[in-house]
Amino acid sequence: MPGTVSVDPLLRVAVAGGTHGNEMSGVFLVKHWLKDSSQLERDTFSAVPLLSNPKASEKGVRYFEKDLNRCFTLDILSSPDSPDDPYEVLRAKEINRMFGPRGSANAYDMVLDLHNTTSNMGVCLIVSGVQNAIEMHTCRYIQTRLPHFNPRIYVYAKPGGESYSVDSVATCGLGFELGPQPQGVVRADILQKMKTLVEVTLDFINHLNKGMEFPAFETETYQCAGQVDFPRSSDGEISAVVHPSLQDKDFSLLRPGEPLFLSLDGQSIHYSGEKPLYPVFINEAAYYEKKIALILAEKVRVSVPALRRRTH
């Protein structure tokens, strides 16, 4: 992917938290910025804080009726309004009107969305794909500025698959997924990292807006390859838990034959896939109801063209 991508300055930027109301770094930061947004100001723009799911944040739950961060599909966003719509469908349409509409010229330039996981994912930067040079350069800038955070890039949509997350209403979107942190808890260490990530991202946008050029690069990404459910007994109940040797080993290579699960009577269940993959979201609390014990990702190297501000 040679050449250089030239882009207009990014002037309309939002930082969303509380998309899941029990992921507390974002809830806490956005509530703070709604009172005092000075940390979101830069020379060339000021970012806007957004509490995505006020009702879920108020109750301290992931969602009220439906997972908001799965509602930003064209199907849902373009569906006719109905009094039977779950709260989150109404809220998704509202956010789409405020910060989109998705795919339109009116859409915000960038939305950052702040998440936590109970998994040991460290600092994970989530994009829906690898084609957007601004998103990829944002990740690169974060990796360069904050190497001690060891930020990894995770691509959640399969090639050709539709994005569905809050940040997809904007032209560019990025999720920050920080863990491990229990649901409903604010940890100071994670909070500080999240705040730094947002600050560095806004710095990057400011540099881009002011004319700084960013050279082409190659980087490694982790791309979703599939998901694995817990073993279950005939009544549907979970019959084995994440193996202690796999627990907390997000982003560590899992090889065929290595243990995945452990039953209460001490039986190990092994990974029977054909190729080694990288497990992520291992034992994430919110994924039990989605029947996901872990996600398996492939490490894929991608080339990203240079990036600079368009000069008229």
DSSP tag of 163: P
Q: Could you report how far apart the first and last alpha carbons of the chain are, in Å?
A: 24
DSSP tag of 214: B
Kindly tell me which residue out of 183, 206, 209, 223 binds a second copy, with binding defined by CB under 8 A: 183
Residues 220 to 239: which contact a second copy by CB under 8 A? 237-238
Q: Which of 40, 15, 38 is nearest to 27 (CA)?
A: 15
Which of these ranges, 107-115, 157-165, 189-197, 301-309, lies near a second copy under the rule CB under 8 A?
A: 189-197
Kindly tell me which residue out of 19, 69, 96, 118 binds a second copy, with binding defined by CB under 8 A: 118
Whose structure tokens read 């452990």?
Answer: 262
Instruction: Tell me how far, at minimum, the Cβ of 182 lies from a second copy, in Å.
Output: 4
Kindly tell me which residue out of 49, 122, 129, 180 binds a second copy, with binding defined by CB under 8 A: 180
Kindly tell me which residue out of 58, 220, 288, 290 binds a second copy, with binding defined by CB under 8 A: 288
Q: How many whole angstroms separate alpha carbon 276 and alpha carbon 279?
A: 10
Regarding 283 and contact with a second copy (CB under 8 A), the answer is yes
Kindly tell me which residue out of 80, 82, 147, 264 binds a second copy, with binding defined by CB under 8 A: 264
Q: Which of 305, 311, 310, 309 is nearest to 137 (CA)?
A: 305
Regarding 28 and contact with a second copy (CB under 8 A), the answer is yes
Which of these ranges, 166-174, 215-223, 283-291, 300-308, lies near a second copy under the rule CB under 8 A?
A: 283-291
**What ranges make up the beta strands (E) of the chain?**
4-7, 13-17, 48-51, 110-116, 122-127, 152-155, 172-179, 217-228, 240-242, 259-263, 268-270, 278-280, 294-304, 306-309
Instruction: Tell me how far, at minimum, the Cβ of 4 lies from a second copy, in Å.
Output: 39
Which tokens is 307 given? 């990036």
Q: How many whole angstroms separate alpha carbon 73 and alpha carbon 69?
A: 10
Regarding 254 and contact with a second copy (CB under 8 A), the answer is no
- Per-residue x/- mask for a second copy, residues 33 to 52, rule CB under 8 A? --------------------
Instruction: Tell me how far, at minimum, the Cβ of 218 lies from a second copy, in Å.
Output: 36
Binding residues for a second copy, total number by CB under 8 A: 35
Considering the complex, state which of residue 64 and residue 108 has its C-beta at the smaller distance from a second copy.
64
Regarding 244 and contact with a second copy (CB under 8 A), the answer is yes
Helices (H), the chain: 24-35, 54-59, 74-77, 87-99, 133-145, 188-209
Instruction: Tell me how far, at minimum, the Cβ of 24 lies from a second copy, in Å.
Output: 9
Q: How many whole angstroms separate alpha carbon 148 and alpha carbon 138?
A: 17
Kindly tell me which residue out of 6, 11, 41, 60 binds a second copy, with binding defined by CB under 8 A: 60
Regarding 144 and contact with a second copy (CB under 8 A), the answer is no
Kindly tell me which residue out of 145, 195, 207, 299 binds a second copy, with binding defined by CB under 8 A: 195
Regarding 292 and contact with a second copy (CB under 8 A), the answer is no
Q: How many whole angstroms separate alpha carbon 72 and alpha carbon 79?
A: 11
Considering the complex, state which of residue 60 and residue 256 has its C-beta at the smaller distance from a second copy.
60
Q: How many whole angstroms separate alpha carbon 11 and alpha carbon 21?
A: 27
Does residue 238 contact residue 231 with C-beta atoms inside 8 Å?
A: yes
Tell me which residues touch a second copy (CB under 8 A). 28-29, 31-32, 60-61, 118, 180-189, 191-192, 195, 237-238, 241-244, 247, 262, 264, 283-286, 288-289
